[in-house]
Amino acid sequence: MKYKKKILRYLFLIWILIGSIFCQDLEVGDITIDLQLLNTGWFTLDSWNTIGNLWHVDVTNNTDEEQSYRFHFELRDSNELLLAGTTPIETLQPGPGYKITISNQDETFKNKDYLDYWFCNETEIVPNAPDICINDFEESIKMLGYIPSGSDYTLRVQIVRPDDTNYVISQDQEIMEFALGDSGFMLLNPDDNDLVSDEGELYFQWDTPGFRPGVLIEFKLIVSPIVTSEGQTAVDAIDSPYEELYYYNSGANEPWEPLPMGFEWPYEEQEASASLNSPYFQLIAQSSMDHLVCGYDYAWRMEAREIIEEDPFNGTGIWGWPDPAQTTIRQFTWGGIPDGLQPIDGSSVLPKFSWDVVFCAGDALGGDGYEIEIKKSENNFDGQNTFTEQTTEYQYDSGDPALIPGQTYKFRVRIKSDRDDLPWSNEEQFTIKELSYPEPAGQISTVKPTFNIVGPSDVASYRIIIKNAHTSEIVYDGDALGQQVSFGIDGWTFEPEDPYNGLFPNSGYLFDIILLDAEGEKLDVDPSKNIYWSGFVISQVMLEEPSDNEINVPINQLFKWDGPTSVPGYRFELTDDPNDFIDPQVQVDVEGSTAYQYPIDGDYPLKYNTTYYWRVLPLDNAGNIC
Q: Could you tell me if 66 and 44 are in contact, meaning their C-beta atoms sit under 8 angstroms apart?
A: no
- What's the CA gap between 470 and 490, in Å, rounded? 29
Query: 31-178 with 542-619: one CATH topology?
Result: yes
State residue 592's pLDDT score: 87
- What's the CA gap between 398 and 401, in Å, rounded? 8
pLDDT tens digits along 219-273 = 999 999 998 878 889 999 999 887 667 789 999 999 999 999 989 999 998 877 8
Q: Could you tell me if 411 and 374 are in contact, meaning their C-beta atoms sit under 8 angstroms apart?
A: yes
- Judge whether residue 93 has pLDDT over 90: yes
Q: Could you tell me if 467 and 509 are in contact, meaning their C-beta atoms sit under 8 angstroms apart?
A: yes
- What's the CA gap between 148 and 181, in Å, rounded? 11
Residues near 414 by beta carbon (within 8 Å), at least 6 away in sequence: 295, 337, 338, 370, 371, 422, 423, 424, 425
Phi, psi of 321, rounded to the nearest 5 degrees: -125, 140
What is the pLDDT confidence band of residue 6, given thresholds at 50, 70 and 90?
A: very low
pLDDT tens digits along 273-296 = 899 999 999 999 999 998 888 888
pLDDT tens digits along 413-448 = 999 877 677 889 999 999 999 888 889 999 999 999
State residue 10's pLDDT score: 34
Q: Could you tell me if 617 and 626 are in contact, meaning their C-beta atoms sit under 8 angstroms apart?
A: yes
Domain locations along the chain: 31-178, 186-334, 352-431, 436-538, 542-619
pLDDT tens digits along 139-193 = 887 777 767 776 678 888 999 999 999 999 999 998 777 766 556 789 999 999 9
Q: Which of 95-99, 210-214, 323-327, 541-545 has the lowest mean pLDDT?
A: 210-214
DSSP code of residue 100: E
pLDDT tens digits along 532-543 = 678 999 999 999
Q: Could you tell me if 205 and 189 are in contact, meaning their C-beta atoms sit under 8 angstroms apart?
A: yes
Whole-Å CA distances, 307 to 42, 177, 272, 363:
11, 17, 18, 40
The helix (H) or strand (E) run that includes residue 189 is strand 186-189
State residue 144's pLDDT score: 74
State residue 4's pLDDT score: 34
Q: Could you tell me if 548 and 427 are in contact, meaning their C-beta atoms sit under 8 angstroms apart?
A: no
* The CATH number of the domain covering residues in 436-538: 2.60.40
DSSP code of residue 199: G
State residue 242's pLDDT score: 76
pLDDT tens digits along 185-223 = 899 999 999 999 887 889 999 999 888 888 999 999 999
DSSP code of residue 342: P
Q: In this structure, which topology does domain 352-431 adopt according to CATH?
A: Immunoglobulin-like (2.60.40)
- What's the CA gap between 369 and 168, in Å, rounded? 75
Phi, psi of 454, rounded to the nearest 5 degrees: -90, 130
DSSP string, 26-80: P-TTSEEEEEEE-S-S-B-HHHHHH-TTSEEEEEEE-SSS-EEEEEEEEEEETTE
Cis preceding-peptide flag for 266 (omega within 30 of 0): yes
* The CATH number of the domain covering residues in 31-178: 2.60.40.10
* The CATH number of the domain covering residues in 542-619: 2.60.40.10
> Would the pTM of this model clear 0.85, i.e. be above it?
no
State residue 446's pLDDT score: 94
